[in-house]
Structure 1
Amino acid sequence: MHFIFRFALVLSPILLLSPARAASPEDRYIAARDAAIAKLSNDNKINEAVDKAEAAARDELKGQLTAILSQPARPGFAHAQLNLDTLYKGDMGFGMLDGLRFDADTGRDGAKIGEKRADGSFVEPKAHIIVTTESLFTRWLHEHKTWWDKGSKNVPQQVDAALKFEGLYTQAISTDAAVVNFDDLPIAKPASATLAYGFLAGRTQDSFPDKADEVFVSALADGKMYVAYGEIEPAVQVPACTAIRTDYNQKADAAAEKLERKQISRQAYDKLGDLHQQGEDAFKRCFTERAPQQPAFAAATRQAQALLEAAIGK
């Protein structure tokens, strides 16, 4: 009995000093990220030393995520990069999803990355895969709970609802335009996944695009969150739906012209409502109804499924 008591006394300081409450690898990553953001964002200078400091911080964060995620190489994709465009608060691209990003090593039709196309644009990777942990993803959701200004819809805090919110993808990836969801895709959930979602997409800085030229897929599997997106060929479009929106836009322009010429009263003009928005809403309803009947929709679904399998690796 005395032996047990003495043993407990010896053990007590050890227990007090045990690393049970030590910071987890993810805690250390978040702390390092936030420290780098604070240091760089408070430094108003832009010079070689600051650039080197940011590069060193990015290398450190990438190394930590590489150890946390332990991701294998993916055929057809380049080595993993840190999925953070910038560590400067206020810069475009700040606040992207914490994770590693794999970029396809070729562009559409196998074109070499960086080559100049006939239209003057440059070839970019045809697909991207972002990998993070479920807990880092939920932390990121919490950080983005009020990311956009008051009055704008922000990302839901439940994972399944968040994956269906198009604004999540605008905030999570490198883009200078908003991601828009045209329609859900009937992808099959991989056996290892507890959640999976896919949709037809486009990007816009103004009005809703006429065609969907990308797919986005996301999945939660084995404690990791995968978000992948890529160009599709052919794009999915429904000319009849575009014609409906064009008709509304023409009516809107005609009404505005009549108002300017005082051919109709302000009261009559206001009674028409927002014809441009009505046309956009009608286009979306039409697209949702008719797009699944297009051969390109089935092709897009297959491409999305293949991208999801490449992301999860099974």
Structure 2
Amino acid sequence: MRLVLTLLLTLSASAAYAASPEDDYIAARDKAMAAIAAQESANTAIETIDAQNEKDLADLQQRLASILGPLQVKDFPATGTINLQSLNASDIGYGMLDGLRYSQSDDGPSIVVSTRGLTERWLKSKAAETDADFKLPTDIGEALKLDGFYTQAIGSDAAFSGTLDFSLKKPEGADAVVARLGGWTQDVGPIYDQHVVVAVVKGDRVLIAEAPASPAVPKIAACDSIWAAADADAQKAQQADQGANQDDSTNTDAGNAAWEKGDADYRACMAQHLPGDPAFAGLLAQAQGLADSMAGK
């Protein structure tokens, strides 16, 4: 009897400590990253590193597909590709959110899907960043409100710059919904090619949709004027710095500050005026439609 009890306790303990599919995925991902980092340190040929990177990404994609299962959102494919673009820290697209991306087309709407557990692990790693520009809160709800989340989670070679937040009706069954209008940029100033980004947290899933704004975000003259004035002031400061022909960077700093302030003022102007534009109703409907679709409404 004692032997049977001992065996039962041993099996119970083994089950309790068995690695989950998410644990297995993280272990495989970290092992692959470490192997590629070692190859980089050993000056391995880039072709060899790239081949290993592609092989490991394919393996991780299969693991994620097993965890997430098929996507069931209208107008989106059931199968996706891994959201991580590289496991090589030297490459653009390294360190993105662990999940799968389901795209209608190369330039069309897409949805990135992850789990709460994977998202929380990813946010924990971002909270530990030593560079303040990359730090994110560990709470999913708080992170979804920040430009930096979308820049690091679903972007690769550009930063997300938010214009305004939509106030949506939370779909039935969803735990949280965040909808934003913004664009991808490598510089400050107006972004005329804007996107609607909608995040839905439902049960164990975190879904992030991105789609080109439809209708297109209109130009607002008053806001363009704000940016034009700031740009002119910044360029004057830059020219003065060049003319001084000295190491003093006071004018350069003033120019950068003028661009930064002009960018913030421009976006604040858009957030103030856009809700009164006829195009806004269509943008709001687009965001609500994405949220409802992802929540399975």
TM-score range, shorter chain: 0.7 to 0.9
Partner amino acid, structure 2, of 1:282? D
Structure 1 residue 302: deviation in Å? 1.3
Greater Cα offset, 193-202 or 167-176: 167-176
Alpha-carbon distance in 2 for matches of 1:241, 1:280: 10
For residues 45-92 of structure 1, give each alpha carbon's deviation from its aligned partner in whole angstroms, at most 9, with x where no partner exists: 346665443333222212221121123354433431111101112311
Per the alignment, residue 11 of structure 1 pairs with 5
Deviations for 1:125-155, whole angstroms, at most 9, x for unmatched residues?
A: 31110111111110010011144624x2621
Residue 149 (structure 1) aligns with: 131
Equivalent positions of 1:119-130 (< 5 A) are 124-130=106-112
Q: Secondary structure at the match of 2:215?
A: strand
Note if contact 2:189-2:262 (Cα within 8 Å) is conserved in structure 1: no
> What amino acid is the match of 2:76?
F
CA–CA separation in structure 2 for the residues paired with 1:256 and 1:131: 44
Q: Which runs of 4+ in 1 moved over 4 A?
A: 47-52, 254-262, 266-273
3-state SS of 1:229 partner: strand
What residue in structure 2 maps to residue 113 of structure 1? none
Q: In the alignment, residue 32 of structure 1 is paired with which amino acid?
A: A
Cα distance change, pair 155–270 in 1 and its aligned pair in 2 (3 A)? closer
Query: Aligned pair count?
Result: 286
User: Residue 305 of structure 1 aligns with which residue?
Assistant: 288
Counterpart position of 2:61? 62
Contact 1:213 1:233 (C-alpha < 8 Å) held by counterparts: no
Match of 2:181 in 1: 200
Partners of 2:76 and 2:102 within 8 A in 1 = yes
Query: By percentage of residues, which structure has more helix?
Result: 2
Partner letter of residue 76 of structure 1? D
The answer to whether the 8 A contact 2:112-2:209 is kept is yes
Which range is displaced more, 74-83 or 252-261?
252-261
Distance 1:66 1:243, change over 3 A: same
Map residues 211-290 of structure 1 onto 2, 5 A cutoff.
211=192, 213-236=194-217, 237-254=219-236, 274-290=257-273
Cα deviation, residue 273, structure 1: 9.8
Q: Which amino acid aligns with 2:62?
A: G
Tell me, what secondary structure is at the counterpart of 1:37? Answer: helix
Q: Distance in 1 between matches of 2:21 and 2:256?
A: 54
Which residue in the other structure is 2:141 paired with?
160
Structure 1 window deviating more from structure 2 (36-45 vs 192-201): it is 36-45
Deviation at 1:296, TM superposition (A): 1.8
Three-state SS of the structure 1 residue aligned to 2:127 is coil
Residues 1:39 and 1:255: Cα distance change in structure 2 (over 3 Å): closer
The gaps in structure 1 that reach 5 residues or longer are 1-6, 106-123
- Residue 32 in 1 paired to residue 28 in 2? yes
Q: Which has the larger radius of gyration?
A: 1
User: Which blocks of at least 5 consecutive residues in structure 2 are unaligned?
Assistant: none
One-letter amino acid matched to 2:158? A
Q: 1:183 aligns with which of 149, 164, 182?
A: 164
Shift in Å, 1:238: 1.9
